[in-house]
Structure 1
Amino acid sequence: MQLPAYDDLLRAAKIVRQVMPPTPTCTWPLLSERAGAEVWLKHENHSPVGAFKLRGAMVYLDWLRREHPRVTGVAAATRGNYGQGVARASTHYGVTATIVVPHGNSPAKNRAMQALGAELIEHGEDFQSSLEYAAELAKERGLHMIPSFHPLLVHGTGTYALEMFEDAPELEAVYVPIGLGSSICGVMAAKAALELRTAPGLKAAPRLSTKIVGVVAKASPSYALSFKAGHVVTHPAETRIADGLACRVPNADALEAILQGVDHIVEVTEGEIAAAMRVLFEDTHNLAEGAGAAAVAGLLREREAVAGRRVGAVLTGGNVDRETFLAAMEQTGDAA
Structure 2
Amino acid sequence: MEDFADTALATTARMRGLFPATPLQRNDFLSDRFGADIWLKREDLSPVRSYKIRGAFNAMRKVRAEAPDQSLFVCASAGNHAQGVAFVCRHFGVQGVIFMPVTTPQQKIGKTRTFGGDNVEIRLIGDYFDDTLASAQAFCAEAGGHFLSPFDDDHVIEGQASVAVEILEDLETPPDILVLPVGGGGLSAGMTDYFREMSPQTEIIYVEPAGGTSLAAALRAGQPVTLPKIDSFVDGAAVARIGQKTFAVLKDVDPADVLSAPEDRICLTILEMLNIEGIVLEPAGALSINVLDDLAERVRGKTVVCVTSGGNFDFERLPEVKERAQRYSGVKKYFILRLPQRPGALRGFLDLLGPDDDISRFEYLKKSARNFGSVLIGIETSDAANFVGLFKRLDAADFVYQDITTDETLAQFLI
Same fold (TM over 0.5): yes
Q: Supply the AA of the counterpart residue of 2:308.
A: L
CA distance in 2, matches of 1:226, 1:46: 31
**Percent identity for Structure 1 against Structure 2:** 27
CA distance in 2, matches of 1:210, 1:128: 37
| Aligned with 2:202 (options 210, 222, 230) | 210
Q: Supply the AA of the counterpart residue of 1:247.
A: V
CA distance in 2, matches of 1:170, 1:116: 34
In the superposition, relative to structure 1, how do residues 237 and 172 fare at CA in structure 2: closer, same or farther (>3 Å)?
farther
Q: Supply the AA of the counterpart residue of 2:133.
A: L
Would you say the 8 A contact 1:222–1:250 is kept in 2?
Answer: yes
Would you say the 8 A contact 1:241–1:274 is kept in 2?
Answer: no
What secondary structure, in the 3-state scheme, does the structure 2 residue paired with 1:260 have? coil
CA distance in 2, matches of 1:50, 1:14: 20
In the superposition, relative to structure 1, how do residues 290 and 98 fare at CA in structure 2: closer, same or farther (>3 Å)?
same
What secondary structure, in the 3-state scheme, does the structure 2 residue paired with 1:10 have? helix
What secondary structure, in the 3-state scheme, does the structure 1 residue paired with 2:50 have? coil
Would you say the 8 A contact 2:189–2:247 is kept in 1?
Answer: no
Instruction: Write the mapping of 1:1-150 to structure 2, written as runs, cut at 5 A.
Output: 5-117=4-116, 118-148=120-150, 149-150=152-153
2:246 pairs with 1:254: yes
Q: Which region of structure 1 is more displaced relative to structure 2, 156-165 or 259-268?
A: 259-268
Cα deviations across residues 31-56 of structure 1 (Å, max 9, x unaligned)? Answer: 22233422111000111111101111
CA distance in 2, matches of 1:66, 1:228: 39
In the superposition, relative to structure 1, how do residues 4 and 113 fare at CA in structure 2: closer, same or farther (>3 Å)?
farther
In structure 2, the residue matched to 1:159 is 162
| Aligned with 1:313 (options 306, 314, 331) | 306
In structure 2, the residue matched to 1:203 is none
CA distance in 2, matches of 1:4, 1:242: 34
Cα deviations across residues 141-183 of structure 1 (Å, max 9, x unaligned)? Answer: 2221112221111111111111112223331211111111110
Would you say the 8 A contact 1:43–1:316 is kept in 2?
Answer: yes
Q: Supply the AA of the counterpart residue of 1:257.
A: V
Q: Supply the AA of the counterpart residue of 2:14.
A: I
CA distance in 2, matches of 1:247, 1:192: 25
2:295 pairs with 1:291: no
Alpha-carbon deviation of 1:306?
Answer: 2.1
Q: Which has the higher contact order (CA 8 A, sep 6+)?
A: 1
Alpha-carbon deviation of 1:7?
Answer: 1.5
Q: Supply the AA of the counterpart residue of 1:159.
A: S
> Which is strand-richer, 1 or 2?
2
What secondary structure, in the 3-state scheme, does the structure 2 residue paired with 1:299 have? coil
| Aligned with 2:184 (options 180, 185, 192) | 180
In structure 2, the residue matched to 1:223 is 215
Question: Tell me, which stretches of 5 or more residues in structure 2 are unaligned?
Answer: 331-415
Would you say the 8 A contact 1:15–1:58 is kept in 2?
Answer: no
Question: Tell me, which stretches of 5 or more residues in structure 1 are unaligned?
Answer: 195-205
Alpha-carbon deviation of 1:237?
Answer: 4.8
CA distance in 1, matches of 2:127, 2:269: 27
2:326 pairs with 1:332: yes
Q: Which region of structure 1 is more displaced relative to structure 2, 139-148 or 8-17?
A: 139-148
2:260 pairs with 1:304: no
What secondary structure, in the 3-state scheme, does the structure 2 residue paired with 1:54 have? helix
In the superposition, relative to structure 1, how do residues 252 and 73 fare at CA in structure 2: closer, same or farther (>3 Å)?
same
CA distance in 1, matches of 2:158, 2:121: 26
Computing the radius of gyration from Cα coordinates, the structure with the larger value is 2
2:186 pairs with 1:193: no
Q: TM-score, normalised by structure 2?
A: 0.73
In the superposition, relative to structure 1, how do residues 276 and 4 fare at CA in structure 2: closer, same or farther (>3 Å)?
farther
Q: TM-score, normalised by structure 1?
A: 0.89
What secondary structure, in the 3-state scheme, does the structure 2 residue paired with 1:245 have? coil
Q: Supply the AA of the counterpart residue of 1:146.
A: L
CA distance in 2, matches of 1:328, 1:289: 10
What secondary structure, in the 3-state scheme, does the structure 1 residue paired with 2:326 have? coil
Would you say the 8 A contact 1:90–1:97 is kept in 2?
Answer: yes
CA distance in 1, matches of 2:155, 2:328: 37
CA distance in 1, matches of 2:262, 2:2: 30
CA distance in 2, matches of 1:125, 1:35: 43
Would you say the 8 A contact 2:207–2:261 is kept in 1?
Answer: yes
Q: Supply the AA of the counterpart residue of 1:213.
A: I
Alpha-carbon deviation of 1:98?
Answer: 1.0
